[in-house]
Amino acid sequence: MGNELRDSHGRVMRDLRVSITDRCNFRCLYCLPETEEAANFYRSKWDAARNPRPAALEPIRYEWKPKSDLLAYEEIERVVRIAVSLGVEKVRLTGGEPLLRRDVPKLVAGIAAIDGVRDLAMTTNGFMFARHAEALRAAGLRRVSFSMDSLDPANFKRMTGRDGHAEVLEGIDQARGLGFAPVKVNAVVIRGMNDHEIEALAAFARDRDLSFRFIEFMPLDSSRAWQKDLVVPAREILARLKAAFGLVPVDQSTNPSETARRHAFPDGRGEIGLIAPVSEPFCGHCNRLRLTADGKLRTCLFSMEDHDLRPLLRGGATDAAIAARLVEIVRGKEAGHRIGQPDFVQPQRTMSCIGG
Ligand code: SAM
Ligand code: SF4
- What is the CATH number for 93? 3.20.20.70
How far apart CA 21 and CA 353 sit, in angstroms, is 8
The finding on whether 96 has its CB within 6 A of some atom of ligand 2 is yes
Contact 132, 105 (CB under 8 A): yes
Structural domain of 146: 15-354
Distances in whole angstroms, Cα of residue 135 to Cα of each of 18, 90, 107, 109, 138? 20, 21, 11, 10, 5
Residue 253 lies in a domain: yes
Answer whether residue 7 is part of any domain.
no
Atom of ligand 1 nearest to the CA of 31: 20
Percent of residues, the chain, with pLDDT higher than 70? 96
Give residue-wise pLDDT tens across range 259-316.
899 999 998 799 999 999 999 888 888 999 999 999 999 999 888 889 999 999 999 9
The verdict on the CB of residue 287 being under 6 Å from ligand 1 is no
pLDDT at position 1 is 47
Q: Is 302 in the pocket of ligand 1 (CB under 6 A)?
A: no
Integer CA distances (angstroms), 333 to 8, 9, 73, 76, 304, in order: 7, 8, 26, 21, 11
Q: Is the dihedral of CA 198, 258, 113, 93 positive or negative?
A: positive
Distance from first CA to last CA of the chain, Å, rounded? 29
Question: How confident is the model over 211-232, as pLDDT tens digits?
Answer: 999 999 999 898 888 999 999 9
pLDDT digits (tens, 9 = 90+) for 25-66: 999 999 999 888 998 898 888 776 666 666 656 788 788 999
Within a domain: 10:
no
Q: 292 CB under 6 A from ligand 1? A: no
Q: Is residue 8 part of a domain?
A: no
Is 177 inside a domain boundary?
Answer: yes
Based on its alpha-carbon atoms, the radius of gyration of the chain, rounded to whole angstroms, reads 20
Dist. CA 300–CA 280, nearest whole Å:
16
Question: Is residue 144 in a domain?
Answer: yes
> Does residue 9 lie within any of the structural domains?
no
Could you give the number of structural domains in the chain? Answer: 1
Its pTM stands at: 0.95
Give the residue, by CA position, lying nearest to ligand 1 atom 11: 356
Mean pLDDT of the chain: 93
